[in-house]
Amino acid sequence: MDRVMAAITYNRICELGSLSAAARSLGISRPMVSRYLDEMEQWAGARLIHRSTRRLTITPAGEKTLEKTRQLALLSQGIEGDATRLTPSGTLRIACAHFTATHLLGPVIPTFLNQYPALRIEVDINNHPVSLVGERIDLAIRITNEPEPGAIARFLGTCQSVLCASPRYLARAGMPETIESLAQHNCLHYSRFSGQSWSFRDGETGGMSVAVSGNFSAGISSLLCDMAAADMGLAMVPEIEARAGLESGGLVRVLPHLEPAPLGIYGLYQSRDHQHAALGLLIDAVKGYLAAG
């Protein structure tokens, strides 16, 4: 049996989580998919997938084999020639936060998929770091100044935040005049951070930060922005998230003479060798979009 096709089929089973879905995706019968899986398990000399009536579960041996079969499939694609390399296909799995999916990937993906119609993109939206290997992620996009260790981090651009609140909240609670006065306000913050503090910079004193607290936290910046617009308190959110509210007057800048410390936007991936053919192309597309403003 064709071991390269068996490897490709095994990859697709792991990506889609179903033998039937893999069969439909590859355009072959389900019994053929089962035969390819049996071939892979004989080749590996181990059980790769536990099968039950409800779900498929990849075994530890299956995880290790998946790393190798992905490399084999990519090597096979490379042998097919330059035309194949210039026309990425298969599935590209991306992990990112809700904000990133909406404001960075959303504007880029339609044009990208139109350019590469043989490609399929899956976006896993989460607000916490993921295991690139364990979750079978090709690319994770993170907004942070401390990218997770153990992965290659490529800088894509900068995320600038803004501190804002509604006019009615400020009329009720007062306009903060100093960074220290933020501690006296209801500060709406991200739930995934403990010991929450907000950092700023200015041209004279450099960096400064203040510990803040409030009665509401969330892992999604758009929800924090909505709560600020609903007169709940102060929120530090990406500038693009607050732009509509600032332009309409529903939100106003707080401490406008201070600039919230910017955060880096990084693309994280596991290896420079045998990476998905579309990975570098998508990274370049996102980086170009950010550079264009």
291 by Cβ neighbours in 10 Å (0-12 / 13-18 / 19+) ranks as: exposed
Question: What is the model's pLDDT at position 22?
Answer: 87
CA–CA gap between residue 195 and residue 201 (Å, rounded): 20
Question: What is the model's pLDDT at position 112?
Answer: 95
The radius of gyration of the chain from alpha carbons, rounded to an integer in Å, stands at 23
Question: What is the model's pLDDT at position 130?
Answer: 77
The string over 113-144, giving b where at least 16 C-beta atoms fall within 10 Å of a residue's C-beta and e elsewhere, is eeebeebbbebeeebeebebbeebbbbbbbbe
Question: What is the model's pLDDT at position 131?
Answer: 78
Question: What is the model's pLDDT at position 192?
Answer: 67
What are the pLDDT digits (tens) for 172-186? 999 999 999 999 999
Residue pair 86/272 in contact by the 8 Å Cβ criterion: no
Question: What is the model's pLDDT at position 84?
Answer: 47
Look at residue 94 and give its three-state secondary structure: strand
Residues of the chain where predicted confidence (pLDDT) is lower than 70? 1, 77-86, 192-195, 203-206, 272-274
Question: Residue 104 is encoded by which pair of tokens?
Answer: 């960075």
Question: What is the model's pLDDT at position 127?
Answer: 79
**CA triple 134-138-141, angle to 5 deg:** 100
Question: Residue 202 is encoded by which pair of tokens?
Answer: 């200015």
Question: What is the model's pLDDT at position 3?
Answer: 83
β-strand partners of 259: 201
Sequence-distant (6+) residues with CB within 8 A of 199 are 207, 208, 209, 260, 261
What are the pLDDT digits (tens) for 214-265? 999 998 999 999 999 999 999 999 999 999 999 999 999 999 999 999 999 9
The strands making up 90-96's β-sheet, listed across from edge to edge, are 119-125, 90-96, 139-143, 263-269, 152-159
- Considering the entire predicted model, what is its pTM? 0.68
